[in-house]
Structure 1
Amino acid sequence: MRISTAQMFNQNLTSVLDRQSSTNKILEQISSGKKVNTAGDDPVAAIGIDNLYQQNALADQFVKNIDYATGHLALSESKLGSAESVVSSTKDQVLRAINGTVTASERQTIADELKSSLEELLAIANSKDESGNYLFSGNETGTQPFAFDTAGNIVYSGDSGVRESVVASGVTVGTNTPGDSAFMNAPNAMGDFSVNYLPGQTGEFIVESAKLAPPAVHTPVAPESYTFNFTDNGVGGIQLEVFDSAATSQIIVPNFDPSSSVDFNGISVKLDGMAAAGDSFTMAPETEVSIFDTINQAIAVLEDPTKANTPQGNSELAQILDNIDSGRNRIDFDRGIAGNSLKSIESYRSTHADEKIVNSSALSMLEDLDFASAITEFEKQQVALNAVSSLFSRVGSTSLFDYL
């Protein structure tokens, strides 16, 4: 077979270029410190490397979400703790007022203290985060959640939305506490109804509980309210008769005994203490109470001179104390949710940190260069390149005239 000069030249040139390419590839690896710089270097490893980088990027995003959630939850938990302390102090103030030796000026002083506590609690409920958004307005972060209306009551202008942050694949955590949940929706301490004690009360009693009693059937008459009238039964005892809003008698208890509940129309009412003849109170549905309304009610009772040291006033204050406890417990409940969420997302932070360590180790195995082996290979390629270049130079300059 004949080998032409051009063919020999091309073969030698190809050999030189291949050696140069191999040398340049090793130089690129040494420069980057990576043995896989393109998919062409190792297609299988390149796929694994890309997947690991994506997993690390996702973990980094989860950590950013966790940082955001941690900041907001920690701030909410702190503010709710402050609110709980304020509410606890209002209970102490109301307890002082129940003392029968308190004078009118002292009652007014306590009422003024309660007003200051109410303003402090309102300021906490209207707290903002570092971005100027309201903490307790649900999804309406630009709307002030709580304010006085024209009637002097505190109303809620936010919503019940919970903003969620994705902290792991398929895992979301609420990053806020809606204000209505924490401050407006405490369970009524008595159950399903609230009581209005009426003037002229002489008996020392309070309604301990008033709730629906399933499976009994409850059929209310709108508007639903009930009046409890206590009268002398003529034999040394007290008769109780309950009327609905249509003045229809619901039950008659000829000889009322406060140790037994009063059951009618699917409702069970329990009194603590004994009513006297002529006493009366009304009852209407109310399953949730606002801590703001509760404190306002305490202020109104203390500022009303007709209720000072009276059975009616003391009964109202006792009901208020129970609802203050309920309001504080509700704030504490939501504070606990925030605390549990903080604890939960910290565990996810640790999980993502561990995941990145594992991924980084796998990445190192797939793409990091063994510099000792690479330098050795580079030197071998350099020797081969020099040899091929020298041979190509000698062959390329050979002529027939050199042998004549």
Structure 2
Amino acid sequence: MRISTAHFFESGKQNMHARQADLMRVQNQLGSGKRLLSAADDPAATQRLIGVDEALSRLGQFERNANAASARLSIQDSLLTSASTTLQRVRDLVLQGRSGTLSNADRRFVATEVRARLEELVQIANGTDANGDYLFAGHSGNQAPFILSPGGAVAFVGDQGVRELPISDERRIADADSGFRVFQDIRGGNGRFSLLASSANAGTGVVDAGEVTDPGLWNGRSLDVVFTAPGTLDVIDVATGTPVATGLAFSSGTALDVAGVRLRITGDPLTGDRFEIRPSQATPVFDTLRRTAEALEAGFSDPASQAAFNNAMNRNLLDLDHAIEKALEVQTSVGARLNAIDTQQGINEDVRLQLETSRSGLEDLDYVEASIRLNQQMVALQAAQQAFVRTSGLNLFALL
């Protein structure tokens, strides 16, 4: 077989280039500390590495979401604590204001503080996170969810949306609660029904909160307790206008059981006085505070107006208790979510460490093995160079 001089030199050059490329590759690996410098180095490992990197990227986003949710929930927890403190103070004011030892002028002073507490509660409900977004506005975080009018009425202009952030592939966490849930959706009365004294009552009857004794018999009906004569009353089904019971005897403070409900009326109701049993409706806490201030400002001047005042304050006290319970309920939910975030972050960290270990196994360089290969490649390059030099000197002219 004849080999041309040109072919011989080209073959030697390519061989030395190949050895130099192998040596440079090992040097680059040692310099970077990475085994995989390109997908061609190990296609299967590269594919697995892409999957690991994607999983690590998701974990990074989960961590950012968890931190953001934790920050917002911590602020909400603080706001709910402030709201509970404000409501407890208003409750104390209700107890103080309904005391018979105060004058109407004294009650107006109490009413002034109640209105100040109302403004304070609106400020709390319009609290923001570190980015200036309103926490209780639902999806409308760029505008205040509650608007206080000069007369004390408060309008909710947010929405009931809840933003949920993923903190793992299977778990999402609400990072706040809608103001509707916290401050608006509060059951009035005893939670099942409200007992209201008619504003037209002329007697001194004061009604308690009442209770349901037979849910099936009551069945959520609206009922009117109407005094038809001194010491005598009828119970009317409002929807049908038909009597449920007639001619019932009344005694102040004695329990009245009728149509699945029980109530007590103290005092001396007059003929025509009416007490209304209505299924509980959502009672915004701001309305409760406004009604409290209005009742304190109005005061009373005679036994009938005193009874109306007592009925109003009893109702407000009951609604305040439900508002305090709601704040505690939501705060408990916030605490549970914060604990869930902490737990999930611990799980995510364990997963991250496992993925980092897998990534290291796929990508990181074994320095001992690479150093051995470096020496081997240097020897191979030197051998190729020496072989080329020796063989290139073999020609017929050297024998002449």
TM-score by length of 1: 0.88
Residues paired across the two proteins, number? 391
- Is the contact between residue 133 and residue 141 of structure 1 (CA under 8 Å) also seen in structure 2? yes
Change over 3 Å in CA distance of 1:208–1:307 after alignment to 2? farther
- Name the amino acid aligned to 1:229: V
For 1:132 and 1:307, how far apart are their aligned partners in 2?
48
Determine the C-alpha separation between the residues in 2 that align with 1:297 and 1:181: 20
Question: Who is 2:204 aligned against?
Answer: 202
In 2, Cα distance between equivalents of 1:277 and 1:85: 37
In 2, distance between residues paired with 1:231 and 1:249? 12
CA deviations 1:107-163 (Å, max 9, x no partner) are: 112111111111110111111222222111111112221123576421111110001
User: Cα–Cα, structure 1 residues 89 and 75, in superposed 2: closer, same or farther, change >3 Å?
Assistant: same
Q: Which residue of 2 aligns with 1:301?
A: 295
Paired AA for residue 280 in structure 1: R
Which residue type is aligned with residue 34 of structure 2? Answer: K
C-alpha distance in 2, partners of 1:32/1:308?
Answer: 92
The secondary structure found in structure 1 opposite 2:141 is: coil
**For residues 149 and 212 of structure 2, what CA distance do their matches in structure 1 show?**
30
SS of equivalent residue, structure 2 residue 210: strand
What TM-score does the superposition give when structure 2 sets the normalisation length? 0.89
Once structures 1 and 2 are overlaid, which stretch shifts more, 370-379 or 152-161? 370-379
How far, CA to CA, are the matches of 1:382 and 1:12 in structure 2? 16
Other-structure match for 2:328: 332
How does 1:27-46 map onto structure 2 within 5 Å?
27-46=27-46
Q: Distance in 1 between matches of 2:214 and 2:90?
A: 30
Aligned-pair CA distance for 1:401:
0.5
Are 2:242 and 1:240 equivalent residues in the alignment?
Answer: no
Q: Does 1:393 align with 2:389?
A: yes
Partner of 1:313: 309
Q: Is the 8 A contact 2:107 2:299 kept in 1?
A: no
Q: Among 352, 357, 360, which residue is 2:356 paired with?
A: 360
* Matched residue, 1:96: 96
Tell me how far apart the structure 2 counterparts of residues 324 and 28 of structure 1 sit (CA, whole Å).
Answer: 72
Q: Secondary structure at the match of 1:173?
A: strand
CA separation of 1:335 and 1:357: change in aligned 2, threshold 3 A: same
- Let me know the Cα RMSD of the aligned residues: 2.5
Distance (Å, rounded) in 2 between the aligned partners of 1:212 and 1:156: 36
8 Å Cα contact 1:107/1:303 also seen in 2: yes
1-structure distance, mates of 2:187, 2:256? 24
Partner of 2:275: 281
- Offset at 1:103? 2.1
> Against the structure 1 CA distance between its residues 308 and 131, is the aligned structure 2 distance closer, same or farther, given a 3 Å change threshold?
farther
Specify the SS of the correspondent of 1:168.
coil
Is 1:192 the counterpart of 2:189? The answer is no
User: Residues 260-279 of structure 1: matches in 2 within 5 Å?
Assistant: 260-263=256-259, 268-274=260-266, 276-278=268-270, 279=273
Conserved? CA contact 2:213–2:262, under 8 Å: no
Identity of aligned residues (%): 26
Output aligned runs, 1:209-228, within 5 Å: 209=211, 213-214=215-216, 226-228=223-225
Question: Deviation per CA, 1:30-64, whole angstroms, max 9, x where unpaired?
Answer: 11111111111112221222211111111001111
Out of 361-370 and 245-254, give the one that drifted further. 245-254
How far apart in 1 are the matches of 2:55 and 2:94? Answer: 57
Unaligned runs of 5+ in 1: none
Q: Check conservation: 2:136, 2:176, Cα contact below 8 A.
A: yes
Name which of 249, 254, 279 aligns with 2:248: 254
Taking a change above 3 Å as real, the CA distance of residues 358 and 133 of structure 1, as seen in their structure-2 partners, is same
Q: Could you tell me how far apart the structure 1 residues matched to 2:189 and 2:204 are?
A: 24
Task: Evaluate the alpha carbon distance shift between residue 142 and residue 99 of structure 1 in structure 2; reply closer, same or farther with a 3 A threshold.
Answer: same
C-alpha distance in 2 between matches for 1:277 and 1:169: 64
What are the within-5 Å matches in structure 2 for residues 138-177 of structure 1? 138-149=138-149, 152-177=152-177
Sort the Cα spacing of 1:253 and 1:23 in 2 relative to 1 into closer, same or farther, 3 A: farther
**Within-5 A mapping of 1:106-117:** 106-117=106-117
Change (3 A) 1:277 1:332: closer
- Unaligned regions of 5+ residues in structure 2, if any? none
2 CA distance for matches of 1:383 and 1:31? 20
SS at match of 2:158: coil
Alignment-derived partner of residue 382 in structure 1: 378
Output the amino acid matched with 2:345: R
Match for residue 399 of structure 2 among 379, 383, 403 = 403
Whether the 8 Å CA contact 1:16–1:389 is kept in 2: the answer is: yes
2: CA distance, partners of 1:168 / 1:215: 48
| 2: CA distance, partners of 1:330 / 1:399 | 102
Q: 1:56·1:356 contact (CA, 8 Å) conserved in 2? A: yes
Task: Name which of structure 1's ranges 158-167 and 300-309 shifts more when overlaid on structure 2.
Answer: 300-309
1:212 positional shift? 9.0
> Match of 2:179?
179
User: Which amino acid in the other structure matches residue 272 of structure 1?
Assistant: R
Letter in 2 for 1:136: F
Distance in 2 (CA, whole Å) between partners of 1:168 and 1:394 is 66
How many Å separate the matches in 1 of 2:77 and 2:377? 65
User: Could you tell me how far apart the structure 1 residues matched to 2:329 and 2:310 are?
Assistant: 28
SS in 2 for 1:187: coil
Q: Does residue 75 of the first structure (1) align with residue 78 of the second (2)?
A: no
Distance (Å, rounded) in 2 between the aligned partners of 1:117 and 1:80: 15
| Aligned equivalent of 2:226 | 229
Matched residue SS, 2:132: coil
